[in-house]
Amino acid sequence: MTEFDYDFFVIGGGSGGVRAARVAASLGKRVGIAEEYRYGGTCVIRGCVPKKLFVYASHFSEEFEDAAGFGWRVGESHFDWQTLIANKDREVARLEGLYRKGLSNAGAEIFDSRAELVDEHRIRIISSNQIVTADKILIAVGGRVNSVDKLEGQELTISSNEAFHLENLPKSILIAGGGYIAVEFANIFHGLGVETTLIYRGPEILKNFDMDLRRTLHRTMEEKGIRILCHEVITKVVRSADARLDVTTSGGKNLKVDQVMMALGRIPNTSGLGLENAGVGTNENGAVVVDDYMRTNVENIFAVGDVTDRIQLTPVAIHEAMCVVETLFKDNPTKADHEMIATAVFSQPEIGTVGLSEDAAARKYDELEVYSATFRPMRHTLSGRQEKMITKLVVNAADRRVVGAHILGPDAGEMAQLLAIALKAGCTKDDFDRTMAVHPTAAEELVTMYQPSFRVKDGVRVE
Ligand SMILES: Cc1cc2nc3c(=O)[nH]c(=O)nc-3n(C[C@H](O)[C@H](O)[C@H](O)COP(=O)(O)OP(=O)(O)OC[C@H]3O[C@@H](n4cnc5c(N)ncnc54)[C@H](O)[C@@H]3O)c2cc1C
């Protein structure tokens, strides 16, 4: 039998890669892992974590305003961007340290280097030009920002990567994109006092989320002062004489802003990885093609997370990594389960969602019952804020199973996590009806919507 340097070599030290390497090493396997930038990957270094810290920071402006209705007089407030960046950087560095420590404590060998495939068992460590061999290989290189090469002035724009390190907070920003990253950053910058415009080529922000929530969030963001331009894209960005940016749009608008941020999705990080040397197949987007067990077309090479371009979320990458470890090292072949994945958009107000949107459910089931409540959260009776909250359950009429649950409002992400357990367990609307409310909460609406708001038959809403 060939003796390899490692039982398992992981390329990419992000959410999926670190988890797989750490757990495999803790099982006594000889594990190597290479990361070209910083351990923790997108989520920890320039994704979920720093973003959520920014989201918290951006909430305070409304908190200060809302306090007045409860009798508080808050003195003049001042926001300091440099303090936020420094504190965020410290926290990210702390987490990165924990990731490294977890790997080394488990016995994995850490390479601070880019790695590329030489063939199906050999990997080149680029920093030292060393070649190592491994029995099994995991590709966990994630994704990278999708840039628009054709855009004139592309080099003057930033992506979310740079947004985490801007030297100064811009006075105004134009964000291109309609996905959750674009929407979240629009809310972050607006909350921090930046004049914010969102531009999106589609008809409505947040494609694939429930339409009622998309429309209401859109309206609420506009009411707060965020300008949203749909059906429109940026066609040109030019540096103007006053060092600002002149932006031309496909709708013939000319905007002058301090910063332009492109958030047009993320693409698999596979170029230059040597996949062709090992014979690993990719699809037309460059994503590594895998089967239900995350195995590529090459028997000993697996891939997890964003590089497979299926569901680009941290918990999904981690789950897939755990499945690979079960399959390879615990003699327990395990498929990834991508059903009923809860997710959140950390906008203001927030979206929390699990299961099918009304439109997606209508395509799948003949008849739906939809239970929906739109109300003003109790807190806003005194804060005076006019913002509305939505709770919505989509039920398959045939068996009463709740196939989708959607919330727009404070803490919606937290609620979605708990709802996901109920929906994953296959709860019916009768289970929701039998459940006692927690009073007074906003979440109690989820168990007190007794009558359907409407039905959907053959894709059409009926009373
Ligand atoms: C702004 C932003 C906000 C996000 N917010 C959320 C959120 O709120 N919730 C959520 O669930 N998800 C969020 N995500 C998505 C989440 O970050 C990803 O889905 C997740 O990180 C994917 O994990 P991964 O292991 O596949 O890849 P990554 O975490 O991207 O890790 C891949 C790693 O591989 C390294 N690498 C690449 N090529 C090589 C190579 N050849 N050699 C060595 N190393 C290499 C990269 O440097 C990177 O560190 C967000 C993403 C972004 C960009």
Confidence at residue 3, expressed as pLDDT on a 0 to 100 scale: 92
Nearest alpha-carbon partner for 301 in 324, 267, 285: 324
Say if residues 47 and 15 touch (Cβ distance below 8 Å): no
Bridge partners of 8, per DSSP, are: 31, 136
Query: From the CA of 246, how far away is ligand 1's center (Å)?
Result: 32
CB 176 within 8 A of CB 262: yes
Residue 277 corresponds to which tokens in the numbers above? 């040397």
Instruction: Specify whether the CB–CB gap between 47 and 175 falls below 8 A.
Output: no
Atom number in ligand 1 closest to CA 18:
25
Residue corresponding to tokens 């039920």: 395
pLDDT at site 149: 72
Per-residue pLDDT of the chain (463 residues; tens, 9 = 90+): 569 999 999 999 999 999 999 999 999 999 999 999 999 999 999 999 999 999 999 999 999 999 999 999 989 999 999 999 999 999 999 999 999 999 999 999 999 999 999 999 999 999 999 999 999 999 999 999 988 778 999 999 999 999 999 999 999 999 999 999 999 999 999 999 999 999 999 999 999 999 999 999 999 999 999 999 999 999 999 999 998 999 999 999 999 999 999 999 999 999 999 999 999 999 999 999 999 999 999 999 999 999 999 999 999 999 999 999 999 999 999 999 999 999 999 999 999 999 999 999 999 999 999 999 999 999 999 999 999 999 999 999 999 999 999 999 999 999 999 999 999 999 999 999 999 999 999 999 999 999 999 999 999 999 7
Ligand 1 site, residue 112, Cβ cutoff 6 A: no
The pair phi, psi for residue 22, each rounded to 5°, is -65, -45
Q: Which atom of ligand 1 is found nearest the CA of 308?
A: 26
218 in catalytic set: no
Q: Which two structure tokens, joined as six digits, stand for 15?
A: 């959410």
What is the residue type of 357?
Answer: S
Alpha carbon of 408 to those of 372, 377, 383: distances in Å?
A: 11, 11, 18
Radius of gyration of the chain (CA): 24
Structure tokens at 229: 């331009």
Q: Which atom of ligand 1 is least distant from the CA of 34?
A: 43
- Which residues face 406 on adjacent strands? 353, 392
Confirm or reject: Cβ of 313 under 6 Å from ligand 1. Answer: yes
From the CA of 126, give the closest atom in ligand 1: 42
Of 394, 412, 329, the closest CA to residue 357 belongs to 394
Q: Do 189 and 212 form a contact (C-beta atoms < 8 A)?
A: no
Distance from the CA of 165 to the center of ligand 1, in angstroms? Answer: 17
User: How far does the centroid of ligand 1 lie from the alpha carbon of residue 114, in Å?
Assistant: 15
Q: Is any ligand 1 atom within 6 A of the Cβ of residue 352?
A: no
318 lines ligand 1 (CB under 6 A): no
**Predicted pLDDT at 295:** 98
The response to whether residue 42 sits with its C-beta less than 6 Å from ligand 1 reads: yes
Distance in angstroms (rounded) separating the CA atoms of residues 196 and 181: 14
Q: How far is the CA of 84 from the centre of ligand 1 (A)?
A: 22
**Given ligand 1 and candidates 15, 18, 42, 114, which is best to mutate, with the most ligand atoms within 8 Å of its CB?**
42
Distance of alpha carbon 255 from alpha carbon 44, whole angstroms: 34
Count Cβ atoms below 10 Å from residue 299 Cβ, excluding itself.
Answer: 9
- In this structure, which residue's CA is closest to atom 35 in ligand 1? 12
CA 335/CA 340 separation, integer angstroms: 15
- Indicate which atom in ligand 1 lies nearest the CA of residue 307: 26
Q: How far is the CA of 138 from the centre of ligand 1 (A)?
A: 15
144, 312, 314, best to mutate for ligand 1 pocket (most atoms within 8 Å of CB): 314
pLDDT at 147: 81
CA 358 to chain centre: 21
Task: From 141, 164, 262, give the residue whose CB has the most ligand 1 atoms within 8 Å, as the site to mutate.
Answer: 141
DSSP strand pairing (234-239 vs 115-117): unpaired
Q: Is any atom of ligand 1 closer than 6 Å to the C-beta of 270?
A: no
Ligand 1 center–CA 312 separation, angstroms: 8
Output the pLDDT for position 166.
98
CA of 17 to the centre of ligand 1 (A): 10
Cross-sheet strand order for the sheet of 367-375: 343-345, 351-355, 402-408, 389-396, 367-375, 454-457, 460-462
CA–CA dist 372, 148 (Å, integer): 39
Residue from 11, 33, 35, 43 whose mutation best tests the ligand 1 pocket (most atoms within 8 A of CB)? 43
Please give the pLDDT value at position 54.
Answer: 98
Q: Which ligand 1 atom minimizes the distance to the CA of 312? A: 19
pLDDT at residue number 148: 75
Please name the residues in contact with 63: beta carbons below 8 A apart, sequence gap of 6 or more. none
Q: What pLDDT, on the 0 to 100 scale, is given for residue 463?
A: 77
Cα(427) to centroid(ligand 1), Å: 33
CB-side exposure of 437: number of CA atoms within 13 Å?
12
Contact 268, 286 (CB under 8 A): yes
Q: Indicate whether residue 409 lines ligand 1 (CB < 6 A).
A: no
pLDDT of residue 1: 57
